[in-house]
Structure 1
Amino acid sequence: MYHSIRSLMSVAALSLAFPAFGADFNAERMAPEREWAVIVSPYAWAASLNGDGSLAGFDTDVDVPFSDVLKHLDFVVMGNVEITNGFWGVYFDAQHVRTSQDEQLLANELDLGIKTTSLSAGAFFKAYEAELGGQTVFNRPRTISIEPTAGIRWTKLEGTVHFLGLSAQKSADWVDPFIGLRVNADLTDRWNLFSSVDVGGFDVGSKFTINAQSYLGYRTTMFGKPTILRAGYRVLHQDYESDDFTGANKFRWNVTQHGPVVGFSMRF
């Protein structure tokens, strides 16, 4: 039984390898000030997980390399949409992940299914901007800017177990507020560096979260639209605790997710 609980926590870890991306995959302001733009950013995060968790009174380590994520992954979709006028804006982020795993328990097959849905929304404004000289290939001055940001992130974890002809489904969801800072710098006319960090939870949802990432971007054109190809690295730590489905024990999720991120941002 301990092995099955450990497996369940591991599959949950696989699902949460794709947490809320939110404003983390920021696109360059590719239009003049006050001209509104919509920037669409699909992405993928190859995350490994490390930490610990508790379920049904059992404590287990969470140690999941990305190779295991691929092995158990059934379906995933991730994307970010930002609406901005170059001075302030809002962003929306969504991910949905499905994983599944078969285990043997007492000579019988135990089927575990996990669905994770995460929705984020936030806002930002440009508090500081300085020109670096020259222009980008999108005919914008090269700049460095600093943008405070704030928002909320909703996460829902659903688990389904099939065993001996019986099935059970349980779920947990929570909302984390966060505040942070984004820095955007034009290194050359084509290369761009974006970094951000935010903290949240504040015992509203999670006890504490921290999210940090940095991406190198390359400006180009795709399908006639200004586009930035991006690659980087992201680290997300979440420490969440609540009553689990037994009603007598705690569900604990104290996990750090980390790994490379790839994607692109296209302006419309």
Structure 2
Amino acid sequence: MTRRSTAANAGALILLCAAATSAQAEDGWSLTISPYVWASSLDGKAALAGQRTHIDIPFSEALEHLDLAALGEVEIMRGRWGLYLDGQYVKTSQDEELLSQELALGITKVNAMAGVFYRIYDSPQGGDTVTGEPRRFVVEPMVGARWTKLKANVEVLGFSTSKKADWTEPFVGVRSSLDLTDRWNLSGEADVGGFDIDDRRSANAQAFVGYRMHLLSRPAMLRAGYRVLYQSYETGDFTGQTFRWDVTQQGPVVGLSMDF
């Protein structure tokens, strides 16, 4: 699938979701779409085919080798219940030299989080936001699953090979949001997962400052903050050796949320 067709399909899906949600607005449904950019670095340890290495990739180097990135979140809510999907697709490539021969290395990393949350606490803060909603302080426990896929492609001396690993882990967490003024908002989220089931552990935390406004006549919010994702996973690989991924991904985040 080409980048153009992927973008067209994504745009069509967004328009379809928006139309469906608008038609159901009287029933209390809401849809929020949030594309974002995560300027993340990687730090930790990895092992494949018995070879262990330390990973230390600052964002400046990751950006230099970036081919394609798509990151975003979709949230659907009705009443106090809500469902969300957060997806990240990052593809990088680079050329290295091995024994005086050129080696091409491509890495694709996919993360997808799906969760259900419940608004257990909702406290009015007085007055309305600039988009017409009451100012609130809310707390929402959540539960869900996180799926990760890693794929590496190597080409050297006319030969190529591709190896991959993927795993899924449950998580529990909580998120909250506070309207400071009619425009400014403060939000945060944290969760832990894996629980050492089959050597899987993870932790995710993020905090944002948001600015409410109208965009294309729709309620919207610009957000800026910081996110940290730690993952640890270990299993046997295709050589009978140990595959290990024990890495922290972190960095600033800038995004836009629109309500439909």
TM-score range normalised by the length of the shorter chain: 0.7 to 0.9
> Given that residues 131 and 214 in structure 2 are in contact (C-alpha distance below 8 angstroms), is that contact kept between their aligned partners in structure 1?
no
Alignment partner, residue 195 of structure 1: 188
Matches within 5 A, 1:14-33: none
CA distance in 2, matches of 1:180, 1:61: 29
Matched to 1:164, the amino acid is L
Residue 65 of structure 2 is aligned to residue 72 of structure 1: yes
> Given that residues 147 and 182 in structure 1 are in contact (C-alpha distance below 8 angstroms), is that contact kept between their aligned partners in structure 2?
yes
State the SS of the aligned residue for 2:60: helix
CA distance in 2, matches of 1:184, 1:75: 31
- Tell me the CA shift for residue 203 of structure 1: 3.1
- Tell me the CA shift for residue 33 of structure 1: 11
> Given that residues 34 and 87 in structure 1 are in contact (C-alpha distance below 8 angstroms), is that contact kept between their aligned partners in structure 2?
no
Matches within 5 A, 1:172-187: 172-187=165-180
Q: Which runs of 5+ in 2 are unaligned?
A: 1-24
> Given that residues 74 and 84 in structure 2 are in contact (C-alpha distance below 8 angstroms), is that contact kept between their aligned partners in structure 1?
yes
Residue 173 of structure 2 is aligned to residue 168 of structure 1: no
Alignment partner, residue 153 of structure 1: 146
Alignment partner, residue 25 of structure 1: none
Of the candidates 34, 52, 60, which is equivalent to residue 41 of structure 1?
34
CA distance in 1, matches of 2:144, 2:165: 21
Alignment partner, residue 251 of structure 2: 259
Of the candidates 49, 57, 61, which is equivalent to residue 56 of structure 1?
49
Matched to 1:102, the amino acid is D
State the SS of the aligned residue for 2:64: helix
State the SS of the aligned residue for 1:139: coil
Alignment partner, residue 85 of structure 2: 92
CA distance in 2, matches of 1:53, 1:161: 17
Aligned length: 236
> Given that residues 117 and 142 in structure 2 are in contact (C-alpha distance below 8 angstroms), is that contact kept between their aligned partners in structure 1?
yes
CA distance in 2, matches of 1:50, 1:194: 26
Matched to 1:143, the amino acid is R
The CA deviation string for residues 158-203 of structure 1, in whole angstroms up to 9 with x for no partner, is 1111111111111100001111000110111100111110000123
- Tell me the CA shift for residue 86 of structure 1: 4.3
Alignment partner, residue 228 of structure 2: 235
Matched to 2:181, the amino acid is T
Q: Which runs of 5+ in 1 are unaligned?
A: 1-31
- Tell me the CA shift for residue 119 of structure 1: 2.2
Deviates more, 1:72-81 or 1:85-94: 85-94
> Given that residues 33 and 87 in structure 1 are in contact (C-alpha distance below 8 angstroms), is that contact kept between their aligned partners in structure 2?
no
Q: Give TM-score scaled by structure 2 length.
A: 0.87
Matched to 1:133, the amino acid is G
Q: Give TM-score scaled by structure 1 length.
A: 0.84
Matches within 5 A, 1:110-129: 110-129=103-122
Matched to 2:242, the amino acid is K
